[in-house]
Amino acid sequence: NALDCLANGTNCGTFVPPAKWPTIRGAMAWSTNWDAKNGNDFSTNVGNHLHGMQ
């Protein structure tokens, strides 16, 4: 939801972003090693979402 909020102004809940950033193409994980240990769940889901925003 955070990416949708920052890119499109949707799924923000009560937060109102000061601007929209439709070209945003990033997200940060705390640890790629932890993600790999957990089956790459974060990178798979977030990566698919980012690719869908193109």
How confident is the model at residue 54, as a pLDDT?
Answer: 65
The token pair that represents 48 in the structure block: 């698919």
Query: What is d(CA 36, CA 7) in angstroms, rounded to the nearest whole number?
Result: 27
Q: Could you report the per-residue pLDDT of 3-51, keeping only the tens digit for each?
A: 899 999 999 999 999 999 999 877 775 688 888 898 988 888 888 887 8
Distance, CA of 40 to CA of 54 (rounded, Å): 22
Distance CA 6, CA 39 (A): 27
Cα separation, 35 vs 39, in Å, equals 6
N- to C-terminal Cα distance for the chain? 16
Q: 34-47, pLDDT tens digit by residue?
A: 888 989 888 888 88
